[in-house]
Structure 1
């Protein structure tokens, strides 16, 4: 593998824009990017990758490495949330898409850029030229339409009724903002990443459209035989007192229920006795909000395939409910529209550094006709208030759709 220090190239958003402009000039596929906290780095960018539709059963099928000082390349892509909505409509973009990159640009924790190539190939001339000619930022404006308050409220009330009847204990009821975009999705992504700094941001694009994920949440990290997941449950606006999260009976109960679900999911494929909870109920800041985060870890057999691990754990526990199978069935009745990439996962599987996959929340889906969808939602428990749950949806969307919170949520 070739590793070459490039020095200071600017911010991840600037480098992504420069590579996008360079790829367009050269007639190559666009770049793909992971920005925030990925593989111990601040950013991992594939300069050009053909992200094409794939069989959902074939995603992230790479034997995971365990290096912490390099990524090199690998398979980068997404897998959509699998369930339909009540309207039965087909997917808006492919259910899964991705592609292989032999090289990446990596921004290390100290702020230095590196070129890494799995095949030992020197830095291509077109990349050098692109990095020496910073692109002027473009604009991407989205005209957002109002989400369906009445449908969300009906879903929350139906969930409360199901909880009362013992059909489920918790479920993540979601809604959607929809809109029309003018401009390039890469400019939208670069702008929001620069403004909000999400921990698990990811960008992919192709002839089918684009995915701009501004996620704060880790779905799966796998290095060798070690696997971990960090579910988020519990949210407050960023201007609220974060200690309210730890004091909230509802948020703590919700988080612990999902931790148990993650433990159960990983336990299906983990080595006996290896599932642990090294982090429980820790408050983290995310764009526009505070979150309550826990971490579950396990050891799995080295020969465990990507398909087997994903089958045991997907969709992510934090965006489904308990019990998981029944909650998913009910959510498909309560939510009118298919979630799509939202609540699925975006990430990379590297033969050098392993896997890192986000939970695709705060994720905007662009189709080939510039129509966009942003899903938002929250976990419903027995003491949820429909108005507070709606406000949580608005709080989560605010940093992306430039809305001001109209009310302050309470500790629910």
Structure 2
């Protein structure tokens, strides 16, 4: 294990872009990153990550050793970075956009660059090699060459989504479920560099649980605000999000909304049950209930459930108990998942799965892969959805989907921003 203090440098977006340029020059795989609020830090970047398909049961497998800390925060050193896709298909079969994409993919890195909460960059490695001078320069004095990207989005089919919501309401009235998360998706065609899209997105929207990785199978740019689960030693934590309003609305309306409050509390109970399957008896607690938090483009209701795991519980055991995330399934969970296969015409892919990192030093942190763009061969998808309760209105649920996607759809390419800036200045 080796650590070096690199000092202040570029922003996570700048450093990630600089490392991508370095990887291209060296002919090695591109970097991967988690940014926002991960392991007590503002960013963790693997300078180069070779990713490949893994068996879903092996995703995030990593030996756990006691957590180590320094004045700069928790030591991460390295670990496995990857994704685990949502496990359920749809009645119509797999989507063409997900063809060839593995159910789980990722890779191991012995080295990370960590931006601590005080704005200092650190070089950390599970080995003993010192930080290469060109790597340090890419962090402290990032040289960013603006790279082009462009996405042409097509909206979801509104009547198909309405039909799914109405079928869900019928199932609630019949007593089959109390709540379910009915999803739809935007589809797009893209050109350019997916990593440039991600760096632009995190620079402009600063999501709390963002993550990026790519490989021969494509790329995943997750702009999630939601923690699925963290595991540090025997401490487990999950912060489900249910309840949404656009940022232009009065956030107090969320706590006053019978529908949004009920939606959140039902999912909190489901998370308590999921964690309880691997927790010490009596250790499951609700640390925070119905907090109003901002996220890119919206306000959310966020609660936090904590627990202490039983001795011998592994990350695989935790995923068996809690995956897929409660907030994107429904209550009761198994029946909701069965019905969602019938109500949604497309498989979800990585959307509603999880992206994150597992470190032998720092533990495991995983997001809920919402606000997540999946890039394939010239096409991309952006899933959106919302929890349906007995008080749901199909038109309001459609608008919630649009609100959640708005901050991503509003992103423009660097070339388009330059054109817009020139127009605003009166240049032609």
**Fold match, TM over 0.5?**
yes
Contact 1:81/1:339 (8 A) holds in 2: yes
Contact 2:14/2:142 (8 A) holds in 1: no
Superposition pairs of residues 61-80 of structure 1, within 5 angstroms: 61-64=61-64, 65-67=66-68, 68-80=73-85
Q: Which residue of 2 aligns with 1:297?
A: 306
Question: Any gaps of 5 or more consecutive residues in structure 1?
Answer: 404-412
- Deviation, structure 1 residue 19: 0.4
Alpha-carbon displacement from aligned partner over 1:346-383 (angstroms, at most 9, x marks no partner): 0000111111100000000001x121000000000001
Q: 248, 258, 271: which one pairs with 2:257? A: 248
State the secondary structure of the residue aligned to 1:290.
strand
Q: 330, 348, 353: which one pairs with 1:339? A: 348
Q: Which residue of 1 aligns with 2:3?
A: 3
Contact 2:10/2:142 (8 A) holds in 1: no
Q: 69, 92, 105: which one pairs with 1:87? A: 92
Contact 1:189/1:212 (8 A) holds in 2: yes
1:178 aligns with 2:187: yes
- Deviation, structure 1 residue 121: 1.6
State the secondary structure of the residue aligned to 2:112.
strand
Q: Which residue of 1 aligns with 2:16?
A: 16
How many residues were matched structurally? 402
Q: Which residue of 1 aligns with 2:399?
A: 391
Q: Which residue of 1 aligns with 2:390?
A: 382
Measure the CA separation in 2 of the matches of 1:267 and 1:118.
33
Alpha-carbon displacement from aligned partner over 1:292-348 (angstroms, at most 9, x marks no partner): 000001111242122111010000000000000000010010000000000000000
Measure the CA separation in 2 of the matches of 1:385 and 1:321.
17
Contact 1:61/1:349 (8 A) holds in 2: yes
Measure the CA separation in 2 of the matches of 1:302 and 1:107.
32
- Deviation, structure 1 residue 89: 1.5
Measure the CA separation in 2 of the matches of 1:358 and 1:133.
28
Pair 133,216 (structure 1): closer, same or farther in 2 beyond 3 Å: closer
Q: Which residue of 1 aligns with 2:327?
A: 318
Question: Please, which moves more after superposition, 299-308 or 80-89?
Answer: 299-308
Contact 2:76/2:112 (8 A) holds in 1: yes
Measure the CA separation in 2 of the matches of 1:141 and 1:238.
26
Q: Which residue of 1 aligns with 2:34?
A: 34
- Deviation, structure 1 residue 147: 0.9
Measure the CA separation in 1 of the matches of 2:221 and 2:400.
21
Measure the CA separation in 2 of the matches of 1:27 and 1:387.
50
Contact 1:34/1:45 (8 A) holds in 2: yes
Measure the CA separation in 1 of the matches of 2:169 and 2:148.
42
Contact 2:67/2:75 (8 A) holds in 1: no
Contact 1:198/1:286 (8 A) holds in 2: yes
- Deviation, structure 1 residue 133: 5.3
State the secondary structure of the residue aligned to 2:74.
coil
Measure the CA separation in 1 of the matches of 2:137 and 2:209.
28
1:402 aligns with 2:410: yes
Question: Please, which moves more after superposition, 85-94 or 218-227?
Answer: 85-94
Question: Please, which moves more after superposition, 59-68 or 232-241?
Answer: 59-68
Contact 1:26/1:126 (8 A) holds in 2: no
1:60 aligns with 2:67: no
